[in-house]
Amino acid sequence: MRSLAVVGGGVIGLAVAWRAAEDGWSVTLFDPSVGSGASWVAGGMLAPLSEGWPGEDAVLAFGAASLARWPEFARRIEAGTGRSVFVADATLTVALDAADVADMRTVAEWLRGRGHDLRLLDRAGVRALEPTLTRTARTGLLAPTEPAIDNRVLVGALRQLAEAAGVLVLAESVESLDLLPHDQIVLAAGAHSASLWPDLPVRPVKGEILRLRRRPGATPVPGRVIRARVHGRSVYLVPRADGIVVGATQYEAGFDTAVTVAGVRDLIADAEEVLPGIGEYELAEAAAGSRPGSPDNLPLIGRLSDRVVSATGHGRNGMLAVPLTVDAVLSLLAGATLPDAEAADPQRLSSQLAVRATGQEATARRNHGGPRERRQSSTGGVR
Local structure of residue 279 (DSSP, 8 states): G
In contact, 14 and 73? CB cutoff 8 Å: no
Q: Which stretch binds ligand FAD (CB under 6 A): 156-164, 278-286, 315-323, 347-355?
A: 315-323
- Scanning residues 136 to 155, which ones bind ligand FAD (CB under 6 A)? none
Nearer to ligand FAD, 170 or 338 (CB): 170
- Return d(Cα 260, Cα 222) in angstroms, integer: 27
Sign, CA dihedral 238-89-51-156, equals positive
Nearer to ligand FAD, 51 or 130 (CB): 51
- Scanning residues 166 to 185, which ones bind ligand FAD (CB under 6 A)? 173-174
Q: Does residue 316 bind ligand FAD (CB under 6 A)?
A: yes
Label residue 367 exposed, middle or buried (CB < 10 Å: 0-12, 13-18, 19+): exposed
370 phi/psi in degrees, rounded to 5: -70, 165
In angstroms, what is the minimal distance from the CB of 383 to ligand FAD? 5
Nearer to ligand FAD, 74 or 102 (CB): 74
Nearer to ligand FAD, 13 or 222 (CB): 13
In angstroms, what is the minimal distance from the CB of 178 to ligand FAD? 13
Of 52, 239, 243, 247, the residue at the interface with ligand FAD (CB under 6 A) is: 247
- Scanning residues 271 to 290, which ones bind ligand FAD (CB under 6 A)? 289
Q: Which amino acid is at 90?
A: A
- Scanning residues 32 to 61, which ones bind ligand FAD (CB under 6 A)? 32-34, 36-39, 41-45
Q: Does residue 332 bind ligand FAD (CB under 6 A)?
A: no
Nearer to ligand FAD, 93 or 312 (CB): 312
Pairing verdict, β 168-170 and 26-30: parallel
- Candidates 84, 52, 230; CA nearest to 154 is 84
Of 312, 330, 346, 361, the residue at the interface with ligand FAD (CB under 6 A) is: 312
- Return d(Cα 230, Cα 241) in angstroms, integer: 26
Q: Does residue 63 bind ligand FAD (CB under 6 A)?
A: no
Nearer to ligand FAD, 12 or 353 (CB): 12
In contact, 246 and 268? CB cutoff 8 Å: yes
- Candidates 239, 190, 266; CA nearest to 13 is 190
Of 48, 52, 222, 292, the residue at the interface with ligand FAD (CB under 6 A) is: 292
- Candidates 307, 313, 377, 379; CA nearest to 345 is 313
Q: Which stretch binds ligand FAD (CB under 6 A): 77-85, 309-317, 343-351, 353-361?
A: 309-317
List for the chain the helix, strand, coil content (%; round to 5): 35, 25, 40
SS3 143: strand
List of residues contacting ligand FAD (CB under 6 A): 7-13, 30-34, 36-39, 41-45, 173-174, 188-192, 196, 207, 209, 247-248, 289, 291-292, 312, 314-320, 383
